[in-house]
Structure 1
Amino acid sequence: MKMTQRFPSRRHALALTLAAALGAAPFGSALAADAYPSKPIKVIVPFAPGGPTDIMGRYVAKVIGDALKQTVIVENRAGAGGNLGTDAVAKSAPDGYTLGIGAISSLAIAPGLYEKLPYNAAKDFAPITLVGIAKGAILAHPSAPFNDLKGMLAYAKANPGKLNYASSGIGTANHLAGEYLQSLAGVDLQHVPYKGTAAAVQDLLAGNVLLSVESSLTSAAQHVTSGKLKAIAITSATRSKMLPNVPTVAEQGFPGFDVPTWFGLIAPAGTPKEVVATLNRVITDALKSPDAAERFAQIGAEPHPTTPDQFGAYIREETARWTKVIKSANIKPE
């Protein structure tokens, strides 16, 4: 009996030794994925609470928590245009327990804008899925002597360098939308950067600037509806459900013009593929629901589920696109 007891033990030990020698990584990864998640997950939002990025981050956190039956904590780590929180994701352990909301600013604009970033946007992240795309608009004060894009550009050409437009800061998506339009239309607009959307809209409402390019219609749509502002054009490829009667830039003479503000879920590079696949399945299933469409519509956005590979390709395409615009317009960070 003693020999019978010892023999399975030795056999088991030998099997483990052979498995280790042969590199049974897939087996170990599968076990890790089966156990995931075994502790709370953290989602880093690289902007302050209350904005579209934060709203999407909290939605994603709830979906993950509900589906995987685990506590998910949202941590707002704002600063440096989203780069601070994004860097924190890059430097976290690649185990699936620290995730982040990656945005156009930190993943696609920052690489072309900053000579030195604390992270490599192309190498330091494992894309999980694109989450949502928000539509923006060119807005004008009611006193502006134009009501559409054609009139705006005609006024700009007749008054070179005199038409100002506000944005939420240098290097933001709405700033680049203005620069991109200038390059296509051959006009000279003066950029006035503000520290955030709220300050830009406030000065527009006061008439201190005649134009503003907004990357989200969350707060601006109500001012258009009330007549306090005029909507000149939607800056994404299709019209916004929040302002369905406002034509796009593309419809008004610039086919292909599309400057959305997008957000996606990322993890540190090296996160197990099985974990990435689990998170992708959970999030994309939720994004296809009517509930997601309704929630995102409240902030002027639409759900956009993708595969990890599709999201990675999208980031690369957007980075190349905006780096070209930044270099062409000679945009420098603050």
Structure 2
Amino acid sequence: MNRALLILFSVLSVFSSFCFSQGKFPSKPVTIVVPYPPGGSNDTFARALGRKLTETWGQPILIENKGGAGGSIGAAYLTKQPADGYTLILMSNSFTTNAAIQPNLPFDPVKDFAPITMVARGPMILAVSNKMPAKTIAELIALAKSQPGKLNFGSSGAGSTNQFATELWMTAAGVQMTHVPYKGMNPAVTDLIGGHVDVLFASLPSVYAQTKSGKARALGVTSLVPFAAAPELPALAQNGAPGFEFDNWWGVWAPPGTSAEIISKIRADLQKILATPEMKEIFLREGADSVQMSTADFSRTVSSEIDQWKRVAAKAGIKPD
């Protein structure tokens, strides 16, 4: 009897694998959670990918916005969903900065998520007020060094990704400025234009149009080399901040315990979509490049960045609002 059961289980296992390889997943609608309100890059990317996944899978992709607590509410929700691939989440690198400074999150940011892949990444712009005399990165560094702490820099809030980017750059450039946190990026950009903020690190969609129209001045980008969407701007790493790099990025996760087979299928289908000219154009409009990354590399990126931001936060005294 035991031998017969073993044979039966073996047959069922082979049949199950065969069914999966024949594309039985997904067999019903899939939900992508966006842990922020509608609008913004996370929502834009999720909906663009969702439309293409619907075409690929022949199943509806539902976008569910669960905003609040800096993305933690939506992230916590994912951890409680079945590990069957039918609920995913798209988040940005703010997930790693939040994890670095929030000691009481209702989840483990590494163990409670199954990484699938990074889908896009893009730099920030270093912009200064038109009232600032500095016209180049070198002039800004020289000005900041001549009066430590006198210049200020804005951010979208304490512990935000742009605060982390600025703190990292200040260390690399050997300068010191005073932090002015805002409740969101829009008021920070408004005060940059008004001359109340000297320096602001921000995503391309947040500030590039204002610098192109002359309302503020863009000095450089946070990527290691110039970026295709703003090719006229030099890389900060090549101008007084050797080795400095900061990219915003976006990725997709599944609930913990999701099978390797399902994760592999989702990643493979996402990568095909990300390679299309249409998707590349959508990402570029949002200041990002589509990314081809293995699940293992994405997992390592998440873990290493959390550790890195913990060190930066400890050194700079970064705490959440």
Residue type of the alignment partner of 1:53: N
TM-score, normalising length: structure 1: 0.90
**Pair 1:75 & 2:64 matched:** yes
Residue segments in structure 1 that go unaligned for 5+ positions in a row:
1-12
Does the 8 Å CA contact 1:64/1:279 hold for their aligned counterparts?
no
Give the corresponding residue for 2:240.
Answer: 253
Matching of residues 55-204 of structure 1 within 5 Å: 55-106=44-95, 108-204=96-192
The secondary structure found in structure 1 opposite 2:205 is: coil
1:310 Cα deviation (Å)? Answer: 1.7
After superposition, the C-alpha distances for 1:16-50 in whole angstroms (9 at most, x for unaligned) are 84357679656546545742112111101112222
Does the 8 Å CA contact 1:47/1:82 hold for their aligned counterparts?
yes
Number of equivalenced pairs: 320
**Pair 1:326 & 2:310 matched:** no
Q: Supply the distance in 2 between the matched residues of 1:153 and 1:26 (Cα, whole angstroms).
A: 63
Does the 8 Å CA contact 2:119/2:290 hold for their aligned counterparts?
yes
Q: CA RMSD in A?
A: 2.1
Q: Runs of 4 or more off by more than 3 Å in structure 1?
A: 13-34
CA distance 1:273–1:157, shift in 2 (3 Å): same
Q: Supply the distance in 1 between the matched residues of 2:58 and 2:264 (Cα, whole angstroms).
A: 17
Larger radius of gyration: 1
Q: Supply the distance in 1 between the matched residues of 2:228 and 2:75 (Cα, whole angstroms).
A: 30
Q: Supply the distance in 2 between the matched residues of 1:19 and 1:227 (Cα, whole angstroms).
A: 74
Does the 8 Å CA contact 2:157/2:182 hold for their aligned counterparts?
yes
Give the corresponding residue for 1:48.
Answer: 37
**Pair 1:312 & 2:312 matched:** no
1:203 Cα deviation (Å)? Answer: 1.4
Question: Which sits farther off after the overlay, 14-23 or 230-239?
Answer: 14-23
CA distance 1:241–1:156, shift in 2 (3 Å): same
CA distance 1:60–1:146, shift in 2 (3 Å): same
Residue type of the alignment partner of 1:292: M
After superposition, the C-alpha distances for 1:245-289 in whole angstroms (9 at most, x for unaligned) are 111110102222110000001101111221111111110011112
**Pair 1:38 & 2:27 matched:** yes
Q: Supply the distance in 2 between the matched residues of 1:77 and 1:23 (Cα, whole angstroms).
A: 42
Residue type of the alignment partner of 2:64: E
Residue type of the alignment partner of 1:166: G
**Pair 1:287 & 2:292 matched:** no
Q: Supply the distance in 2 between the matched residues of 1:225 and 1:199 (Cα, whole angstroms).
A: 19
Residue segments in structure 2 that go unaligned for 5+ positions in a row:
none
After superposition, the C-alpha distances for 1:129-162 in whole angstroms (9 at most, x for unaligned) are 1100022111111111101222112222222222
Q: Supply the distance in 2 between the matched residues of 1:128 and 1:240 (Cα, whole angstroms).
A: 26
Residue type of the alignment partner of 2:297: Q
**Pair 1:209 & 2:194 matched:** no
CA distance 1:27–1:220, shift in 2 (3 Å): same
Q: Supply the distance in 1 between the matched residues of 2:184 and 2:11 (Cα, whole angstroms).
A: 51
Question: Which sits farther off after the overlay, 244-253 or 182-191?
Answer: 182-191
Question: Which sits farther off after the overlay, 303-312 or 315-324?
Answer: 315-324
Q: Supply the distance in 2 between the matched residues of 1:112 and 1:324 (Cα, whole angstroms).
A: 9
| Pairing partner for 2:252 from 262, 265, 271 | 265
Does the 8 Å CA contact 2:154/2:182 hold for their aligned counterparts?
yes
TM-score, normalising length: structure 2: 0.93
Residue type of the alignment partner of 2:247: P
